[in-house]
Structure 1
Amino acid sequence: MGDGMTLSGVLLVLVPMCCLMPGNCLPTILGGLKVEQKTFYGVTNFSTFLLNSSSGILFLGAKDAILAVDTNNLKQPPKKIDWVVPEEKRKSCVGKGKTEADCNNYIRLLEFQKDGHIYVCGTYAFDPQCAFLHVPSFTLEKTEDGALRMETGKGKCPFEPSQRYTAVMADGILYTAATSNFLGTSYDISRATGPEQERVRTDQSINWLNDPEFVSSALIEQAPDSNPTGDDDKIYFFFTEMAKEHDLYTKVPRVVRVCKSDVGGMKTLQRRWTTFLKAQLVCEDKASGQRYNILTDVFTAQHSPGDPSSTHFYGLFTSQWEPNDISAVCVFSLFDISKVMDGPFKELKKTCENWNSPETVPIPRPGQCLNNDLKAQGFESSLKLPDKVLTFVRDHPLMENSVTAAPLLVRKGIKYTKLAVTLMGEAEDRRGAVLHLGTDRGELHQVAVANQNATLLQEIPLFSPEEPVNNIIMHQGRALVGSPQSVAEVQTEGCALYSSCEVCARARGVGCEWSTEDNTCRFTLTDPGSGDVVDEALKKCNSQGRCDPSTKWLKVSPGLQILLPCVQLSPRPCSWEYPPHRHTRQHHSDLAVTVTEENLGSYVCTCQEGGPNVRDPTPCRRAAFYLHLEEPNASGSFGQNGNRHHLAIYVLLFFVGLVCGAFLLYFLTLKKNSSRPGNRAPDNLLSSGKEQKLLCSSATPQSQSSSSLVSDGFRSSEKQNGKTTSTTATTLLSSQGNGGPHANSYSGGSRVSSNPSNGHSLYGNCDTGGSGLKLNSEILVANALGGRTGDWRRPDLGEKEPGEGNGADELLGARKTGLEDEFVSLSEFQAPLAPCEESSI
């Protein structure tokens, strides 16, 4: 059903934002696609866009400010109006339990009035207020005494900055869907401005609105020359609410229709809508059974300009039951919505709490808009409707049937936030549409849709990943894209934007064709013919077909974790064929692989797709990979530049080791000469009461009567009950050398030594706490200094040969001398010494 072709070649990357001063912008060329980006110093939290299409001025609602940006010259500094909350009101807001950040004035509503003014509403520290913007002077109107001219914004603008709402202006009258109280627990769809007696709102019943999240609204005007029945203009509201007709806690997308001339009833439904009807929107792929029940955004487009009956609503959905991000687009026609609104009503029987269709419907039909027929019967206004009609409308706002559509595209692992649509071709010869989808990570995706086939054209990064796209407005072949911090302008219309044959081929379904004469992509009215038009166009580019991808060979190594991509725009599932092994996991349509020698080989992704009016899915190969090990070539040299670099590093380290060994040998020679009796330091250097830090040498103490402590210690050490013990006079403790807790650490400026032959550290840190003694060696120094701390055991020296003398005394004296020589240059330290704890090897 969808075509998930990704953009070939290098991914278009936008340089990070660098515009820090007002009026500065960043022009960028992305593969022939011109992008201009603008940030504004000191102004943030852009939430509302309003475009004057005739002048190209874009009005931005932000925190405590309103900006006017000339889209024809983004380099020009914007105009700015500050509208802040008085300090007393801000403190009162904080005192009511709101945060400092929320107690500002967030501009949430900008709408043109009939007289050319802009109606501006802000949260105003949880007390919504509205003002009037004079466009020529770009100032807020004031009263005669110089104060700002304001009126209440309750029911017109949200109280909280993050609350969802929608509004539309019809003949200078504002229609809104927003919260109507401080706590955000009351919701209204209302005519918010105009004569006081004509302001109507919804009935306070959960049958009408049940915890809604408002998304979008649209005015459908009837052209007088194409409206023979005299039907009234209608306003449509789109939102998601809790479904009262379902037993489960389920969210359901809705569409509500009210009529512009509705002024409420005379007795029943006074100042309430008498034409309030709502229906469920169903975005579902029947083949897979997947339903998308949360509405995120709606874009309204007339497929034939000037013909309201050709209006289509493109809805952006996600799923309540999907644990990960998933986005779908479904399109609903005005004809289908009108058909459901004219169908049967749904009723909840009080006896069994089940919804059923009512048996009798009064005349005239409840919820019907005024037309010539009703006026001929004497119903010139909703005030003249009979009570039985109004009572029926009050109790039966929900329609029995649903407005259903199959998704045009589905993207898993991606969260789309905003949607705009460009219709391709003339009204008489529509060649599909291009969907412009903003993501929660600051990207703009372009998807071509022809009939029921969707093809990914480009993925354009615009903002930082922390800036979601929250506004998209189409204007003169450009998309004005907004985030909470920035604005970007992207060229969107015209086949010439697709600078490569492959990208142009993916847009073949919407009328684009590659010209080999001048290497450009052009719009054409030539019928692409039947079959897979994208596949045929790709073959003309000497590229692999859409369902016949080339196999990519990947050099891997055991233990490597890789993600094999398989982009799919269809709601149908994707599956992988690969060598049977457990070290694989499918993430949406992609496949995560942990490489082993057993799972090398071919990996093929096949997705189920369907064409126009085709219910049975057809398989399509979307990606193919072959994994093989990275090995040296036949000559024995390294086949990768990285291996050559490793070899050079090893050679360099070898020579550095030789130099260091020479210096170490020279140092040990000097130490051996300085350890003679004539150069011996007095014993009181090791027994003074002064508090000092004891530093260990990187060399091992040597003496004539004993071999190296390193060699002795490791030859005679054993491991018992998880600890290392030694039968020599000196106990050596070690820690894991490969990144262990003592490896390559410092104490008092002395480096820790390690033995490269076995990977264990011979020296570690030891801290005696209050005594101030810090040993950078794990030798039990106190034992070798006469047993001042702990119990020193006499080593087993074996039988003594005749004439050999007291071997134990000589060994003790020699090793004590070696230790004294080791610390001869140091100050005295406090005694007694505490032995270091042993650590397991």
Structure 2
Amino acid sequence: MSPLITQVLSLLTLSVLLIGFSRTATLSGPGSDDMLGPDRFEGVANFSTFLLDSVSGMLFMGAKDAIVAVDTNDLSRAPAVIRWDVPEDRRKSCKAKGKTEVDCNNYIRLLEILDDDRIYVCGTYAFDPQCAFLGRTSLSLEREEQEVRMETGKGKCPFEPSQHYTAVMAGGILYTAATSNFLGTMFDISRATGPEQGRIRTERSINWLNDPEFVSASFIQQDPTSEPLGDDDKLYFFFTEVAKEYEMYTKVKVPRVARVCKSDVGGMKTLQRRWTTFLKAQLVCEDRPSGQRYNVLTDVFTLRRDPNDPATTQFYGLFTSQWEREELAAVCVFSLSDINKVMDGPFKELKKTCENWINPEPVPRPRPGQCLNSALRAEGFESSLKLPDKVLTFTRDHPLMENSVTAAPLLLRRGVTYTKLAVTLADGGAGALLHLGTDRGEIHRVAVVGQNTTLLQEVPLFPADQPINNIVLHKGQALVGTPQSLARVAAQGCGLHPSCEVCARARGLGCTWTPTGHGGPHDGTCGPALSGPGPGDMVEEALKKCNSREGRCTPAVRELRVSLGLQLLLPCVQVSPRPCTWTHPPQRHTRQHHSHLEVTVSEESLGTYVCTCQEAGPDRGEPTSCRRAAYDLVVAGPFAGGAVATAGNRHLLAIYILCFCLGLAMGTFLLYFLSRRRPLGLRLAKRSLSSDKGRDLLGSSATPQSPGSASLLSDAFTPSEKRNGTAMTSLHSTQGNGGPHGNHSYSSNLISNSSNASSNPGNGHGEPVYSNYERNASILPADRLDGRTGERGREGGEDVDEGLGEGLGDSMRGLEEEMAKFPLYKSPAPLARCEESSI
């Protein structure tokens, strides 16, 4: 038995090495010097919010019971950990109120820089929000008599760590959008700090805020030199709320943008200590050709194209849909001028009446919700306290605008959940580069040039169970964070694109590839082009220089060796919201899932399948067609393992090798155990046969055959990987616009459909801090999955006999013959039918 055990251990060691190698190859993002894993943070986790000190380059990260300071200029330095936990008596009081042990901690949700070289820090503090002051240079919390100096955080920080929340600092004053009570049922947009008489908030009315989920806030400061009207500074809050204006059978969520003015101090009699300038409008991210709307806002990134002109501000919104069952993500961009234009338009009437016709109230003067400017000050309205009651009453009853801020999606992805968004501009402003974080620890880079979008790269940074919840841009780099880790990656410049194909796809961003052999220092690199892209599709011409047979809209046909009866999901990456169509053999059995195509393989369905998507033309005229994917289905016999073996997915292959070896080791141990216990079993059998009482029990006893001994391979597959004995497999591809993109271009593997269930990660500004994740994926040919027939067990046994040699097979047969001689094993014990789990 010793040589056999040695062989098994060797196979186990080989499989572990394969897994480690495949993992290293998969996480080919930043180097080890640019990664900070959980082992670097002294056990601190649950990072929820980031604050970057752009002067010193110090990154402050709010976590559970601590603040961590990381020097982004030198990540090799040990991070500074500032502890701020909850006393035991506070924890007991929190749990006595019905909260869990996990909730009764201090989750840091607010980090904002003050003008006096301090940082304002607020945490949930066991469902009793508190705020403190952190020194930017001393990296310590201010104390009084050995205790942390604290002040109440109610209205400044949420009570619960998973509540949606956002805040912004404007002129040293904190503005927040958060819940203001223990139960989380009261919502306020408020001026939370400053003089007591200046702390104002929204009206407690569902017309103002109706169960909102706050996402982001932005402060737009006017430039006196470019603003001749002397207009006031403004704050914009982005959130999703339940629509009051729609009467439907279910709650309809709508994305909103709300605006308030910085100098607003409330009214004299009406709207005392309430906003007198609060206005909100609906954001519409809609694909008009299909009529699809994306009504749930998940993140907003504010970008100012011209740093000296606030009017060039744009808001990139990340959306999903309330009505879609599958994962869906869309990106729309809204300009500041369009938002202000809607705020200056007509008001929506929300009065309840039985009449069919409503005469709208005349709009009084000065206009309700208008910020103070030079003209109003000349009329005597130096403050909101001097506004007439009729103006304030109209403002109180008409917070919603009639028109909506509308935009078409720049990007649409199905089957992907994006959690965070950051945007960088190309040199010269020719286009933009979207950096999208996923719930599986990846960064996707998408080029936006005009109305066309191109998926450039999908870079895995973290393990799949770590969703990205923060992206901070600093000096051409992106600081990407999860609840447990931090990474630093390049975010700007053509050097982002590591291969000729990816660089060619970024041609619209002003990048070009310098091939090797020119003798210059930039051989084999992607750099800025001397001249910008000309008219038409320059990407196609750039791809031809890469000696690639594939162009932007001419993908190579990929041959798939399949077996009859197999179900495939052929992917077609749809980046733009325009529709995709498939051409395929006429006699086929298919079903299209949005842009992907499900195919049941038969003799008639063999042939070529081509996916063609529509995109904008070069002159924004009629859309043009672009081929995104092409496949050729070829029969490879009843077992499609050849396609799996040649697919190159070493990670999943190594997992199955490991499972096979584990099953093999278990079977060997069981065989060794039975062979050692055989004399004892013989004595027990004789003793039981001499007893009539024991003979009566044999008819109801279980079969001596072990449930796991039918096949040594059966333990390698979990019940969730079987669906009624049929494998639903798919060909997974990470391509963008039908072509490769560097080291992460393609993965042409037959894989099964995976079911994903995840909760939104926490980012401190609108997302939960902690969540659970479930992922299932498998690589199995269809004829190996049916556990009811027992064929898999026999095939697995034959494979094991071949691999171990004739000695093990003869030993097993000899053991079975000897055991069959005992009357104990001849009793008519019925065998229960092996039924496959339906889980």
Assess same fold via TM > 0.5: yes
Q: In which range does the TM-score fall when normalised by the shorter chain?
A: 0.7 to 0.9
Alignment of 1:711-790 (within 5 A): 738=791, 777=825, 779-780=826-827
Q: CA deviation at 1:29?
A: 6.0
Q: CA deviation at 1:559?
A: 3.8
Contact preservation (8 Å) 2:536, 2:618: no
Amino acid at match of 1:305: P
2:536 equivalent among 531, 534, 548: 531
Q: CA deviation at 1:593?
A: 3.0
Contact preservation (8 Å) 2:34, 2:75: no
Alignment of 1:643-654 (within 5 A): none
Q: CA deviation at 1:73?
A: 1.3
Contact preservation (8 Å) 2:688, 2:694: no
Which residue pairs with 1:252 in the alignment?
254
Residue 157 of structure 1: SS of its match in structure 2?
Answer: coil
Separation in 2 of the partners of 1:265 and 1:37?
A: 51
Cα 1:625–1:151, aligned 2, differ >3 Å: closer, same or farther?
Answer: same
Separation in 2 of the partners of 1:260 and 1:218?
A: 12
Q: CA deviation at 1:360?
A: 1.3
Please state if 1:453 is matched with 2:452: yes
Q: CA deviation at 1:110?
A: 0.3
Greater Rg over alpha carbons, structure: 1
Which residue pairs with 1:476 in the alignment?
475
Which residue pairs with 1:573 in the alignment?
579
1:398 equivalent among 382, 397, 400: 400
Separation in 2 of the partners of 1:350 and 1:263?
A: 30
Separation in 1 of the partners of 2:302 and 2:197?
A: 31
Which residue pairs with 1:366 in the alignment?
368
Which residue pairs with 1:311 in the alignment?
313
Q: CA deviation at 1:234?
A: 0.4
Cα 1:839–1:566, aligned 2, differ >3 Å: closer, same or farther?
Answer: closer
2:560 equivalent among 537, 551, 554: 554
Alignment of 1:78-227 (within 5 A): 78-143=79-144, 145-227=145-227
Contact preservation (8 Å) 1:231, 1:370: yes
Amino acid at match of 2:94: C
Cα 1:522–1:686, aligned 2, differ >3 Å: closer, same or farther?
Answer: closer
Alignment of 1:14-33 (within 5 A): 30=29
Cα 1:591–1:551, aligned 2, differ >3 Å: closer, same or farther?
Answer: same
Residue 225 of structure 1: SS of its match in structure 2?
Answer: coil
Q: CA deviation at 1:286?
A: 0.8
Which residue pairs with 1:339 in the alignment?
341
Cα 1:231–1:775, aligned 2, differ >3 Å: closer, same or farther?
Answer: farther
Separation in 2 of the partners of 1:361 and 1:259?
A: 19
Cα 1:763–1:540, aligned 2, differ >3 Å: closer, same or farther?
Answer: same
Residue 225 of structure 2: SS of its match in structure 1?
Answer: helix
Residue 538 of structure 1: SS of its match in structure 2?
Answer: helix
Moved more, 582-591 or 97-106: 582-591
Cα 1:685–1:279, aligned 2, differ >3 Å: closer, same or farther?
Answer: closer
% identical aligned pairs = 65
Please state if 1:490 is matched with 2:489: yes
1:521 equivalent among 503, 513, 526: 526
Cα 1:580–1:233, aligned 2, differ >3 Å: closer, same or farther?
Answer: same
What is the TM-score when the length of structure 1 is the normalising length?
0.73
User: Which of the pair has the greater relative contact order for Cα pairs under 8 Å at 6+ separation?
Assistant: 2
Moved more, 575-584 or 204-213: 575-584
Separation in 2 of the partners of 1:119 and 1:371?
A: 31
Which residue pairs with 1:792 in the alignment?
none
Q: CA deviation at 1:582?
A: 5.7
Contact preservation (8 Å) 1:29, 1:35: no
Deviations 1:211-262 (A, max 9, x none): 0000000000011221221111100000000111111221110000000000
Please state if 1:243 is matched with 2:249: no
Amino acid at match of 2:235: I
Residue 340 of structure 1: SS of its match in structure 2?
Answer: helix
Amino acid at match of 1:620: C
Separation in 2 of the partners of 1:462 and 1:238?
A: 29
Deviations 1:4-53 (A, max 9, x none): xxxxxxxxx998999xxxxxxx9986499995343323111000100011
Q: CA deviation at 1:71?
A: 1.0
Moved more, 195-204 or 599-608: 599-608
Cα 1:688–1:159, aligned 2, differ >3 Å: closer, same or farther?
Answer: closer
Separation in 2 of the partners of 1:225 and 1:641?
A: 67
Separation in 1 of the partners of 2:63 and 2:493?
A: 32
Cα 1:640–1:456, aligned 2, differ >3 Å: closer, same or farther?
Answer: closer
Which has a greater percent of helix? 2
Separation in 2 of the partners of 1:47 and 1:684?
A: 67
Residue 88 of structure 1: SS of its match in structure 2?
Answer: helix
Alignment of 1:2-41 (within 5 A): 30=29, 35-39=34-38, 40-41=41-42
Amino acid at match of 1:50: L
Q: CA deviation at 1:575?
A: 2.1
Contact preservation (8 Å) 2:201, 2:274: yes
Q: CA deviation at 1:837?
A: 4.7
Q: CA deviation at 1:355?
A: 9.6
Moved more, 545-554 or 380-389: 545-554
Amino acid at match of 2:122: C
Deviations 1:251-304 (A, max 9, x none): 110000000000000100000000001111010111111111100000001011
Deviations 1:630-649 (A, max 9, x none): 379xxxxx99999xxxxxxx
Separation in 2 of the partners of 1:124 and 1:131?
A: 11
Cα 1:53–1:628, aligned 2, differ >3 Å: closer, same or farther?
Answer: same
Paired residues, what number?
Answer: 662
Contact preservation (8 Å) 2:27, 2:461: no
Which residue pairs with 1:42 in the alignment?
43
Cα 1:641–1:184, aligned 2, differ >3 Å: closer, same or farther?
Answer: closer
Alignment of 1:292-303 (within 5 A): 292-303=294-305
Contact preservation (8 Å) 2:28, 2:461: no
Cα 1:623–1:569, aligned 2, differ >3 Å: closer, same or farther?
Answer: same
Separation in 2 of the partners of 1:171 and 1:379?
A: 23
Q: CA deviation at 1:737?
A: 6.6
What is the TM-score when the length of structure 2 is the normalising length?
0.73
Which residue pairs with 2:285 in the alignment?
283
Separation in 2 of the partners of 1:196 and 1:184?
A: 24
Separation in 1 of the partners of 2:85 and 2:687?
A: 77
Amino acid at match of 2:100: T
Residue 541 of structure 1: SS of its match in structure 2?
Answer: coil
Cα 1:775–1:320, aligned 2, differ >3 Å: closer, same or farther?
Answer: farther
Cα 1:452–1:353, aligned 2, differ >3 Å: closer, same or farther?
Answer: farther
Amino acid at match of 1:472: I
Please state if 1:630 is matched with 2:630: no
Separation in 2 of the partners of 1:640 and 1:161?
A: 44
Contact preservation (8 Å) 1:119, 1:132: yes
Which residue pairs with 2:391 in the alignment?
389
Cα 1:553–1:27, aligned 2, differ >3 Å: closer, same or farther?
Answer: closer
Which residue pairs with 1:416 in the alignment?
418
Residue 188 of structure 2: SS of its match in structure 1?
Answer: strand
Which residue pairs with 2:602 in the alignment?
596
Cα 1:276–1:775, aligned 2, differ >3 Å: closer, same or farther?
Answer: farther
Cα 1:224–1:354, aligned 2, differ >3 Å: closer, same or farther?
Answer: farther
Contact preservation (8 Å) 2:30, 2:489: no
Residue 306 of structure 2: SS of its match in structure 1?
Answer: coil
